[in-house]
Structure 1
């Protein structure tokens, strides 16, 4: 499995976008939530966030966005992930 991770603190709204693993990864915090969205057009893939608890979507078909959201808890370091299925 190929995967990526980003950690950030929830001080203010934050968003990023990267071309990684052959797909597009959007991640960040907004309106009290942490999110991770990953799109790969040719491989099974998924996305996860961790705010003290892991939230994950996986086995998403090529060409469909993998989207996951969770509450952005104050004073915790949030993590956003993407992955391609093994």
Structure 2
């Protein structure tokens, strides 16, 4: 992706993102999660969202990447957590 991942902007040596761009990225990520959790069939749980998996195009449009730990679920079933997955914080 032309602008790389979000972690390079948060933790790299680049200048801080303007608040308008941060807001745009936040809305884009929220929109992606809404689609995965509510609108896709079946429901997709990513289970490992972190800045390095939030990819940014040339206009700072968010693309969510790396679905290696994702889980497909039925909308009718309530999510049940039985074990910890993803990257430990």
- Shared fold, TM over 0.5: no
The structure where strand makes up a greater share of residues is 1
With normalisation by structure 1, the TM-score equals 0.29
Greater CA radius of gyration, 1 or 2?
2
